[in-house]
Amino acid sequence: MDILSIIIHTKSRKNDYFVVIYREEIVKRRLSMNSNILPRMSGILLHPTSLPSPYGIGDLGEEAYHFVDFLEASGQHLWQMLPLTHTGYGDSPYQSFSAFAGQPLLISPGHLLKLRLISQEDLADCPKTDPDHIDYGTIIPWKNRLLEKAYDSFLTRDFPELKERLSSFCQKNSYWLDDYGLFLACKKVNGGVSWLEWEDAYRIPTPAFKASLRQELSQDIGFYQFVQFLFFEEWQELKSYANEHGVHIIGDIPIFVSMDSADVWANRHLFQLDTKGFPLRVAGVPPDYFSETGQLWGNPLYQWEVHEKEGYAWWISRIKNQLEVLDILRIDHFRGFEAYWSVPYGEKTAVNGEWVKGPNKKLFAAIEAALGGNLPIIAEDLGVITPEVEDLRDTFHFPGMKVLQFAFESLDENGFLPHQFTTANCVCYTGTHDNDTTCGWYATLAPHCREKTAMYMNLREGDSIGMAFVRTALSSIAAYAIFPLQDVLGIGKEGRMNTPGVPAGNWGWRYTKDALTDSLAEDLRALTALYGRCTR
């Protein structure tokens, strides 16, 4: 037997386990045998906005480091997040002003203090908010004023090293940062409304007018670039800390970009728009598990023929950018690359759409040619999945997703049940950001489905359904097991992050500082080690 293992008898307050912990070297040895085999790991889904903070919203500051410490202590190797981009309408991370720019709300006041850009007195007027929930309407204007104070300090005081780092950042990221800064500066001039409502000169600017705007709006452009510099500098510090402690970051991008974004405004030829910039057809999904009338997202659709003519350069730069910022990338609505649901602009629902073929393998072949093979990408392959979508996913060895809640919606056999998994090259989730928490979901489950769930997981009186789902995910053959923190904590429907099709009241949940206890970390670590996912 060439695999060395240490058998440790671990006693917890609830159960006795014989836990087999494989050394990290064994995982590396397995990986060297076949680069397409993923190591068995697990982790927690938590967006940074949900972290505790005295400033009304979670950020990249001290509590983010404490969460990494909790992940390490509990034997987790993965921290999955939602898109880290600059959110627009509805505060959704899936509707952003840029596919590249970071979320300014995640910049921590502590980072600004460390850089001496603000003083402690500048934080005195921080609004009092609910520690369990984010009040975006209150926090956004306060955070923006704080960032403006930091920029004013940067301009009026001497920061030679900071200015040198900023200059380097701007040069490296000019391919997206220049248009992003100009876009937001123009948005400010036009009262913050969507660029489709701007005057013609701003909506479809000539090269000469753009050049004059860069001069005229240089200070505002500089502010937006400065904020991005602050975000990515703080982010890289946190990511480095996580990696040093054995935690890999799984990020997320939606396949489509927001209509009101720098991406569309500055690259109109890449999207299905009319001569005035308005969309001809928009994205969505047909009626499904989440909605009887489908989901009308409203995102502009790509002109894939133009992307192909340009060698998919925009997509290559997007993926390259994200893989520099993250360790692993989940692509939301992966099936849209094979075929996407196209809805005429102006429709009230997504019912009257049609499937249109996408770029399929040509896109990812171009990305691999530019960036190399074995890309660390997870394919969100939920919804209407065809053999063609599965072939696209499997051709590039992208792991797909298995959501345990979907396994128990009926008494039928289905591919989401762990005993039906046919490959380890997948990610098993208890639920996603679009699902109710497992406790909330279970409370409204049909009685016969609840009985099946209880029998499948051998539930006993007093057991937490959230942790039962965590255990089931950990025990599956899936290479990665991911569970929202809400399920680990046993939180009900009040912890739901997003309800698809509901435009308001989402993305606000936060946990409190006292929730992550040493005993919770010990219990989670024991379970994780029991199922061979703890490699420390």
Catalytic positions are 332, 380, 434
Ordered alpha helix ranges (H), 157-301? 160-172, 174-189, 200-203, 207-216, 218-244, 262-266
Residue 294 contacts residue 286 (beta carbons within 8 Å): yes
DSSP helix/strand/coil, 14: coil
281-285 sheet: strands from edge to edge: 295-300, 281-285, 339-344, 354-357
Task: Please enumerate, as own/partner, the contacts of 113-120 that have beta carbons within 8 Å and a separation of 24 or more.
Answer: 115/150, 115/159, 115/162, 115/230, 116/153, 116/159, 117/149, 117/150, 117/151, 117/153, 117/154, 118/146, 118/149, 118/150, 118/153
Q: Which of 255, 250, 274, 416 is nearest to 341 (CA)?
A: 255
CA distance 490 to 502: 24
400-403 sheet: strands from edge to edge: 377-379, 328-332, 248-254, 78-80, 41-45, 480-484, 426-429, 400-403
Q: What are phi and psi of 265, to 5 degrees?
A: -55, -40
CA distances (Å), 500 to each of 15, 45, 273, in order? 38, 18, 26
Cβ neighbours for 137, distance < 8 A, ≥ 6 positions apart = none
CA 446 to chain centre: 31
